[in-house]
């Protein structure tokens, strides 16, 4: 398994099956815009040229925000999420900013576990943030 910077070429490979293989919340156009943004950085995990997952950050003037982390459905629960998150944390540290923040649906227990294991702390809740129903948990990791 190796991690690379994500490119438009990678998107071209996965775009047809983005929702089926990865996550129903993402679509090609949004991801393309993200990849073209100067202040975003996306990475991919590959094995024998197969894309197993990707993740991205937004480097704002004040902190780094995790935009997304998603592992291919049939490759989950094998430690790949942890691997890509470790790389994202290293990338965030290289910016010299102080915090990596994120929002996660409080019902997403696996993602919450992944982030808590990596040292993120809960700093707030946004009530009914998702579909006016589920709460979002705001988390922060001190990068210094
Ligand atoms: C959240 C996600 C990225 C995790 O990636 P992953 O590769 O499956 O996670 P890992 O294998 O590295 O496991 C991370 C932790 O979750 C646990 N875990 C993973 N899948 C699990 C499952 N099905 N049931 C219970 N625990 C599980 C692991 O045991 C591990 O905890 P541990 O280190 O204490 O053992 C992946 O499930 C995903 O892509 N989900 C859909 C997109 C999403 O929700 N992204 C987060 C948005 S904020």
Residue 53 CA, closest ligand 1 atom number? 39
Name the DSSP class of 96: T
Does the CB atom of residue 46 touch ligand 1 within 6 A?
no
Distance linking the first and last C-alpha atoms of the chain: 28
Comparing CA positions, the residue from 15, 67, 7 lying closest to residue 36 is 7
Ligand 1 pocket test target in 20, 55, 65, 76 with most atoms within 8 Å of CB? 76
Instruction: Report the separation in Å between the CA atom of 49 and the middle of ligand 1, taken as the mean of its atom positions.
Output: 22
In 19-143, alpha helices (H): 28-36, 80-93, 109-117
Ligand 1 pocket test target in 110, 113, 118, 130 with most atoms within 8 Å of CB? 110
Spell out the per-residue pLDDT of the chain, length 144, in tens: 999 999 999 999 999 999 999 988 778 999 999 999 999 999 999 999 899 999 999 999 999 999 999 999 999 999 999 999 999 999 999 999 999 999 999 999 999 999 999 999 999 999 999 989 999 999 999 999
User: Alpha carbon of 99 to those of 3, 16, 92, 139: distances in Å?
Assistant: 23, 35, 8, 10
Instruction: Report the separation in Å between the CA atom of 19 and the middle of ligand 1, taken as the mean of its atom positions.
Output: 18
Question: What is the widest separation between alpha-carbon atoms in the chain?
Answer: 42
Q: What is the dihedral of CA 18, 20, 24, 26, to 10 degrees?
A: 0
Instruction: Write down the pTM of the prediction.
Output: 0.96
Tokens at 54, concatenated: 């990707």
Q: Does domain 2-142 have CATH number 3.40.630.30?
A: yes
Question: For the chain, what are the domain ranges?
Answer: 2-142
């Amino acid at each position: 398994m190796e991690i690379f910077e994500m490119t438009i070429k990678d998107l071209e490979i996965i775009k047809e099956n983005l929702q089926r293989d990865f996550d129903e919340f993402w679509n090609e156009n949004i991801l393309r815009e993200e990849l073209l943004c100067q202040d975003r950085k996306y990475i991919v995990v590959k094995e024998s040229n197969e894309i197993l997952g990707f993740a991205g950050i937004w480097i704002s003037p004040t902190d780094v925000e995790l935009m997304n982390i998603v592992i291919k459905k049939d490759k989950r629960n094998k430690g790949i999420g942890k691997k890509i998150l470790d790389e994202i944390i290293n990338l965030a540290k290289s910016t010299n900013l102080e915090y990596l923040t994120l929002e996660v649906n409080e019902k997403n227990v696996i993602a919450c576990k992944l982030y808590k294991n990596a040292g993120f702390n809960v700093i707030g809740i946004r009530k009914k943030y998702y579909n006016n129903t589920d709460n979002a948990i705001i988390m922060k990791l001190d990068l210094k």
